[in-house]
Amino acid sequence: MATTALTGFSMMSLLSLGYLTWDLMSPNQVENEPEQSFVDRSPVPQPPHIIFIMTDDQGFNDIGYHSSDIRTPALDKLAADGVKLENYYIQPICTPSRSQFITGRYQIHTGLQHSIIRPRQPNCLPFDQVTLPQRLQELGYSTHMVGKWHLGFYKKECLPTRRGFDTYFGSLTGSVNYYTYDSCDGPGLCGFDLHEGESVAWGQRGKYSTHLYTQRVRKILATHEPQSQPLFIFLSFQAVHTPLQSPREYIYPYRGLENVARRKYAAMVSAVDEAVHNITYALRKYGYYQNSVIIFSTDNGGQPLSGGSNWPLRGRKGTYWEGGVRGLGFVHSPLIRKKRKVSKALVHITDWYPTLVGLAGGNESLTEGVDGYDVWEAISEGKESPRLEILHNIDPLYNHARSGSLQKGYGIWNTAVQASIRAGDWKLLTGDPGYGDWTPPQMLPGFPADWWNLERHTEPRKSVWLFNITGDPYERLDLSEQRPDVVKELLARLVYYNRTAVPVRYPSEDIRADPHLNGGAWVPWVGDEEEDSWDSVYRKKNKDWKKKLKLSKSRSFFRRLNTRIMSNRI
């Protein structure tokens, strides 16, 4: 369990949520009668069924209770009757958020602190990490995953069914066609990507993925006996990631939206809303609901170029501004003690690991070493969050800011390195945080994509920003020059975390992954007996990283890569 916090902060003790059996006096036992051993044969409360629903690229402004142009009545109702998480943080892109949810650990502790896992990279979630579903299996849960994996698949040992899930149905890569399930990693490098367990699900082509995944979840609920074994379902929707595809009936209600991308995007959100409604209905129908916990979360900020909106937050997907890392989230459950609340408790995506293990009846020994905190009491009872700070990330391979230096970091930290941390009310960013404009909801029909690079530069290039994020959630007032004392303290925290970081895992792409060499599908291509020999594992202490980077000898590669990330084509 994580225990690190800024000096001077008081730490709350973390309590594991367990289930107690009491020794009671028998009603027929006389007070003076000799004591006899007594076994309580009353039913032991079963741990709750856990349904974790994650959407892809859904922005802060892309839900009914935050937005005026997208209608999500089912999500709004669940959130209103539960607890809305309005101080909830995720990661700016897909792989990091999923890895932190599955392991409860920051990226710097899994080697996945740079970019995403691309389809042809011989990389996946490190094998030494005990995953959340594995812990839940140990605690007696039946575990199932439906949807987008995006945590690597170069070996069979990387697959969801080898990392804690009893069953899996979904796509392994980061983006697929919603009907054909074709996934491309460059011109001519396309393959089929829909899997049933460890086999390719060729027969499902043509069915809209949001509907298909919902049907699978309802089938799991219908065939499982809720009283016999607790259930964990991780539903990782492909929606609302590009490509923007939706059945016509969902587009029609948004015919008044002039922006075509926003119109299609809104339709995809409505399809997700309907899916969540149908899953909630199934939970009630089949007897799960009264002992269930439903958690809703997005994986990163929205992409305005593709119809998403994070307004009024700054930035977008792929950035460390609030628009990239502050997520949509809520918890709905009959087990919540104080319902219909808006929670300002600080919560991070790594916190779900210890929180859910605690709900499942596990003790703190099962979450030793994770970076998350058990936040159930903060959510259910409105208590103060045990979390006081969040390391958003330290990425030593991202483009170094030309204006950054060790000198500008007061000799404590090289501000050319992309990093971000929040502690209490304060948030610090160094290096290049990414596109940092404020983008209102799109009203115009469209305009050239290159216009998105015309970010307003109203001040000289910087490499350090400091915000009081509680008082200034839109990051409009940079206080780095007024409060150098806070800057130095947070830079020291970055140094502390960086000392605990493991080497970056970002190997070169492997030509053997080409779907044309593997029957036309994206499947594991390396034998489990074959040893890993990554010639491009980069260590944080390597100061001459630009020369050692075998992935490319050119800065232009990074510009192209970052463009792809920002334009949401991964």
Q: Amino acid letter at 85?
A: L
DSSP 8-state code for residue 565: H
Q: Considering the candidates 49, 66, 114, 150, report the single residue annotated as catalytic.
A: 150
Q: Cα torsion at 273, 277, 283, 284 (round to 10°)?
A: 160
Q: 3-class secondary structure for 451-506?
A: HHHCCCCCCCCCCEEEEECCCCCCCCCCCCCCCHHHHHHHHHHHHHHHHCCCCEEC
Please answer whether residues 407 and 394 qualify as being in contact, where contact means their C-beta atoms are separated by less than 8 angstroms. no
Whether a cis peptide bond, with omega within 30° of 0, leads into 240 is: yes
What does the longest C-alpha to C-alpha distance in the chain come to? 88
Nearest Cα residue to 306 out of 207, 353, 239: 239
94 tagged catalytic: yes
* Structure-block tokens of residue 314: 């700054």
The answer for residues whose C-beta is within 8 angstroms of residue 94's C-beta and 6 or more apart is: 56, 116, 148, 150, 174, 241, 299, 300, 570
Q: Which residues of 385-420 are buried (b: 16+ CB within 10 A; e: fewer)?
A: bbbbbbbbbbbbbbbbbeebeeebbeebbbbbbbbb
What backbone phi and psi angles, to 5 degrees, belong to 527? Answer: -65, 145
* Structure-block tokens of residue 298: 């997005």
The answer for residues whose C-beta is within 8 angstroms of residue 65's C-beta and 6 or more apart is: 72, 75, 76, 79, 80, 84
What backbone phi and psi angles, to 5 degrees, belong to 39? Answer: -110, 120
* Structure-block tokens of residue 286: 């089949």
Q: Considering the candidates 49, 66, 94, 114, report the single residue annotated as catalytic.
A: 94
211 tagged catalytic: no
Q: Cα torsion at 293, 294, 295, 297 (round to 10°)?
A: 170
Compute the distance between CA of residue 341 and CA of residue 345 in angstroms, rounded to an integer. 11
The answer for residues whose C-beta is within 8 angstroms of residue 402's C-beta and 6 or more apart is: 416, 461
The answer for residues whose C-beta is within 8 angstroms of residue 543's C-beta and 6 or more apart is: none
Q: At what angle do helices 209-223 and 260-285 cross, to 10 degrees?
A: 10
* Structure-block tokens of residue 442: 């799109």
Compute the distance between CA of residue 401 and CA of residue 415 in angstroms, rounded to an integer. 8
Please answer whether residues 538 and 548 qualify as being in contact, where contact means their C-beta atoms are separated by less than 8 angstroms. yes
Compute the distance between CA of residue 54 and CA of residue 50 in angstroms, rounded to an integer. 13
End-to-end CA distance of the chain: 33
- Residue entry with tokens 């204006």: 403
Catalytic residues: 94, 150
